[in-house]
Chains A and B, each alone.
Chain A
Amino acid sequence: MKSKFMHVAVGVIVAVLAAATIGSGADKDTLVVGVSSDVHTLDPAVSSDNYDWRQIYPAYDRLMKYKVVNGEGSTEVEPMAAESYTVSPDSLEWTVKIRQGITFDDGTPLDAKAVKFSFDRVLKIGKGPADNLGAIKTVDVVDDHTVKITLKSPFGPFLQTLATDAASIVNPNVITHEKNGDLAQGWLAQNMDGSGPFKMTEWSRGERFVLAARDTYWGPKPKLKRVIVRFMRESSDQRMALENGDIDIAEGILIDQIPALEKNPNVVVRRYPSQLVEYVYLNCEKPKLQNKLVRQALNHAVDYQGIISHVLRGNGVQMRGPVPKGMWGHKPDVLQYQRDPAKAKALLKQAGMEKLDLTLIYSERRPSWEQIAAILQSNFADIGVNLKLELMANPTLREKIDRGDFELCLGAWSPDYADPSMFMNFWFDSKNFGLPGNRSRYASTQVDELIRKSLSLSDVKARTELYHQAQAIIMDDAPYIFLYQTQTMVPMRKAVQGYVFNPMLESMYNFEAISKE
């Protein structure tokens, strides 16, 4: 009897395991992307996180979109749901004609009312994304397909902000899901109601997020039928899955695993110049760092090339000025600090600070920081500066940056929209002290005037000139140590075609144009 039972049990187990699918392999209609972070909220009026935007962005239309030039991503924008636009001579009133025939899933048209509802909603909710649309004073419906947007003051990068995630156009009918006056935030945190090329079909928390191509999409039809975003925190896990062909793109593979990965003939690691920069804030309010000679000395102490070759394994370039290469407003001839310990020592001597004790704070948010901190400590020791390193939790670090409670701090920054103001005005305007941008607490009346004036103009040439003047002053004042501009690496299976990287859309994908061979 017992033996009969055992036979049946073994038979059932074998049958079950045989029925199970191991490595069922991806089909050509489905793209699987391995990512390191789960999604938190799907509401474009709430999320300030690229990892959320990765899912939100393809599910909504916006008035403007980033151009693709010769198969490459660009920072310029062109109409998307907008058909055309005009601007008043004082650059305050923007009249936008909206393309006809775009509808949401329930048949509601994407029209002037929908645009007004979406923008008003973002501004009324007033969370992070509201800052991207912060230039807007009012949105008025002129007719069904025309909207007039009035700005508080002229704002050069206004069109660029219309291509950000914050400017996603939401079906106004979501208001039926409103609870306690939350403008449907509770519902939109977990659901989507847009008109973009993809729509959400499943979100299993901590596991995967599935998007399906929208059959009724008004624009070019997506080549993929389904996109599965698979949450995989571990770099080695992503690497194994990519090599085994279980995922098609892996975005969280650590730099030290890239050389080994590149030996796999089925995998290609694509590299793109990114707008993500890493730098050190020198708190200009701290007595030891108030003298610009000290800040210049610290800038001269750093072994920039050593950091790039050792920490980034060559996948980056030293920054030249605050505006990165690839962004208009970059000044290719501005002063670039180089390692020169003798000069650094002389500057310290001139400042009367030959022996100096400083503290650098950083967190584990980026894997590179631990190594950079150690290199900086050694570099500073060469010029007689004793650098104490303090590692702390990221929320604590942010709190300290916001309060200015630090001497030196490691940081990273990437722009939300394609405009040098994302660097120049955020980092240097003395009204912007703290975490939102001016983390060095740098104040210069001259620089304030130049960058504020530039922001109010729409003529790119005039704006560039003003930003260039400001950059020359800033580099001499040295409120930051500009380390490097990174290179984004996207490892993927060779079968993946049509991927276009856009430096404005880090960790986001043009799913609508991607296909698999």
Chain B
Amino acid sequence: MQILSYVLKRLLYLVPVLLGVTLLVFVISHAIPGDPARMMAGQKASHEAVENLRRSMGLDRPLPEQYAAYLFGLLRGDLGFSIRNQRPVIEDLRDFFPATLELSLASMLLCVGVGLPLGIVSAVRRNRPVDHASRVFSVFGVSMPVFWLGLMLLLLFYRTLGWLPGSGRLDIHIDPPAQATGLYLIDTLLEGSLAKFGDALLHLLMPAFCLSYVYLAIITRIVRSSMISVMGLDFITTARANGISEAAIVLKHCLKNSLIPTVTITGLSIGELLGGAILTETIFNWPGMGKYVVDSVNFLDFPALMGFTLVVALAYVLINLAVDVLYAFLDPQVRY
């Protein structure tokens, strides 16, 4: 019950956080010199055409009035109207968010699926060749620029070897699946097309690896170091003295105790990944939020920017809440 009231309290905190975010983005986007009406009208448009447009977009109203109208719309679930795409922002987000979500989830799967075992092996086989190799791998991951890595992957696996498809979410000639979830791996299966599913999976490999590499490296290092510190503690020596098998010691006792920092970093990483993997999405031509937000900034499309920021802030807060709740399960000493 205590945890339930804690969750409810945290959810209530969401309201001022999101209000603050909208206000901040509204103020910043209006402080940037530039005229969205002019951007929309085109540079050769006459001043009269620009003024007409400004009126029709409601941009001639005082700023507090515009902000109040935005908030009022928000209460009704209306995220505003995209200046650039000429349609409700919510429709844009429905189109672009699933691509980012799919890429982020695939990246996280790689991070945890590879980073965790690699960290464990590294810790258990400390200072052996496999540990050295894993550390070199991690150093590369942390230090390699995503832009360069993405291009090299494409050059090698797509252009030179032809093993993997190029950019995008599906082959150019394949029609996208009907949008049920927006996640192609699920939608293609719902459509019953194994070929499309396979194609979507292959298209996901390189961008997901490219995006995950940095976080994968961080997770590997964190798991390794926290495992090593736990392995030196007295209770592990006691467990060994009691004749518990090495595998059980590593997986049951050490791993569980070293998971808290790993969960923290994983939670934060998901938030960051959802915030738009701008470079990865650009290199791999991935039609997600990263590309969307860059275009919106270039066009001064502030309703789109506010919608994007709201979604990311919401995801961040919820993921962090989930991480906090998870602590209580991982560590009995943590109580709310």
Q: Which of A20, A185, A231 counts the most chain B CB atoms within 10 A?
A: A20
**What residues of chain A lie closer than 8 Å to B40, measured between beta carbons?**
127-128
**What residues of chain B lie closer than 8 Å to A15, measured between beta carbons?**
194
Answer yes or no: B166 CB below 8 A from chain A CBs: yes
Given contacts A48-B42, A393-B32, A437-B44, are A21 and B87 in contact (CB under 8 A)?
Answer: no
Within 8 A of B (CB), among A227-241: 228, 230-234, 236-237, 240-241
A416 to B172, CA, bound (A): 32
Q: Is the CB–CB distance between A131 and B285 below 8 Å?
A: no
Answer yes or no: A255 CB below 8 A from chain B CBs: no
**What residues of chain A lie closer than 8 Å to B44, measured between beta carbons?**
48, 128, 131, 416, 426, 435-437
Nearest Cβ distance between residue A250 and chain B, in whole angstroms? 12
In the complex, residue of chain B having the shortest beta-carbon distance to the beta carbon of A412: B43
Within 8 A of A (CB), among B17-66: 32-36, 38-49, 52-53
Residues of A within 8 A of B (CB-CB), count: 65
**What residues of chain B lie closer than 8 Å to A228, measured between beta carbons?**
172-173
Answer yes or no: A70 CB below 8 A from chain B CBs: no
**What residues of chain A lie closer than 8 Å to B199, measured between beta carbons?**
20-22
Q: Is the CB–CB distance between B285 and A396 below 8 Å?
A: no
Answer yes or no: A490 CB below 8 A from chain B CBs: no
**What residues of chain A lie closer than 8 Å to B154, measured between beta carbons?**
236-237, 240
Nearest Cβ distance between residue B147 and chain A, in whole angstroms? 10
Q: Is the CB–CB distance between B285 and A234 below 8 Å?
A: yes
Contact residue among B49, B84, B198 (Cβ-Cβ distance under 8 Å from A127) = B49
**What residues of chain A lie closer than 8 Å to B84, measured between beta carbons?**
40
Within 8 A of B (CB), among A430-448: 434-437
Q: Is the CB–CB distance between B96 and A206 below 8 Å?
A: yes
**What residues of chain B lie closer than 8 Å to A17, measured between beta carbons?**
198, 201-202
Q: Is the CB–CB distance between B42 and A205 below 8 Å?
A: no
Contact residue among B36, B49, B163, B197 (Cβ-Cβ distance under 8 Å from A130) = B49
Q: Is the CB–CB distance between B95 and A48 below 8 Å?
A: no
Nearest Cβ distance between residue A426 and chain B, in whole angstroms? 7
Q: Is the CB–CB distance between B285 and A48 below 8 Å?
A: no
Given contacts A20-B202, A23-B165, are A207 and B194 in contact (CB under 8 A)?
Answer: no
Within 8 A of A (CB), among B247-306: 282-285, 287-288, 291-292, 295, 297-300
Nearest Cβ distance between residue B167 and chain A, in whole angstroms? 5
Answer yes or no: B324 CB below 8 A from chain A CBs: no
Answer yes or no: A186 CB below 8 A from chain B CBs: yes
Q: Which of A19, A48, A241, A436 counts the most chain B CB atoms within 10 A?
A: A436
Answer yes or no: A109 CB below 8 A from chain B CBs: no
Nearest Cβ distance between residue B224 and chain A, in whole angstroms? 27
Q: Is the CB–CB distance between B285 and A128 below 8 Å?
A: no
Q: Is the CB–CB distance between A185 and B162 below 8 Å?
A: no
Nearest Cβ distance between residue A416 and chain B, in whole angstroms? 7
Q: Is the CB–CB distance between A436 and B176 below 8 Å?
A: no
Nearest Cβ distance between residue A184 and chain B, in whole angstroms? 12
**What residues of chain B lie closer than 8 Å to A38, measured between beta carbons?**
295
A27 to B173, CA, bound (A): 9
Q: Is the CB–CB distance between B202 and A128 below 8 Å?
A: no
Q: Is the CB–CB distance between B285 and A237 below 8 Å?
A: yes
Q: Is the CB–CB distance between B86 and A46 below 8 Å?
A: yes
Given contacts A205-B287, A236-B151, A395-B298, are A19 and B175 in contact (CB under 8 A)?
Answer: no
A17 to B198, CA, bound (A): 5
Contact residue among B171, B288, B292 (Cβ-Cβ distance under 8 Å from A24) = B171
Answer yes or no: B103 CB below 8 A from chain A CBs: no
In the complex, residue of chain A having the shortest beta-carbon distance to the beta carbon of B44: A436
Nearest Cβ distance between residue A354 and chain B, in whole angstroms? 34
Q: Is the CB–CB distance between A40 and B168 below 8 Å?
A: no
Q: Is the CB–CB distance between B96 and A21 below 8 Å?
A: no
A273 to B41, CA, bound (A): 28
**What residues of chain B lie closer than 8 Å to A49, measured between beta carbons?**
42
Q: Is the CB–CB distance between A206 and B292 below 8 Å?
A: yes
- B84-106 near A? 1/0 per residue, CB < 8 Å: 11110000100110010000000
Q: Is the CB–CB distance between A207 and B169 below 8 Å?
A: yes
In the complex, residue of chain A having the shortest beta-carbon distance to the beta carbon of B39: A395
**What residues of chain B lie closer than 8 Å to A134, measured between beta carbons?**
46
A393 to B29, CA, bound (A): 13
Nearest Cβ distance between residue A403 and chain B, in whole angstroms? 9
In the complex, residue of chain B having the shortest beta-carbon distance to the beta carbon of A414: B44
Nearest Cβ distance between residue B204 and chain A, in whole angstroms? 11
Nearest Cβ distance between residue B217 and chain A, in whole angstroms? 24
Within 8 A of B (CB), among A26-52: 26-27, 30, 32, 38, 40-41, 43, 46, 48-49
**What residues of chain B lie closer than 8 Å to A309, measured between beta carbons?**
none
A26 to B155, CA, bound (A): 20
Nearest Cβ distance between residue A307 and chain B, in whole angstroms? 23
Q: Is the CB–CB distance between B47 and A24 below 8 Å?
A: no
Nearest Cβ distance between residue A48 and chain B, in whole angstroms? 3
Answer yes or no: B158 CB below 8 A from chain A CBs: yes
**What residues of chain B lie closer than 8 Å to A24, measured between beta carbons?**
171, 173-174
User: Can you report 25 residue pairs joining A to B where beta carbons are below 8 Å apart?
Assistant: A21-B173, A22-B199, A24-B171, A24-B173, A30-B173, A32-B173, A40-B84, A46-B86, A48-B43, A128-B42, A131-B44, A186-B86, A204-B95, A205-B85, A206-B95, A228-B173, A233-B282, A234-B285, A240-B158, A247-B172, A393-B34, A399-B34, A416-B44, A426-B44, A435-B43
Starting from the known contacts A190-B87, A241-B167, A399-B34, 7 additional A-B residue pairs (CB-CB under 8 Å) come to A18-B198, A24-B173, A49-B42, A202-B175, A244-B158, A395-B38, A436-B44
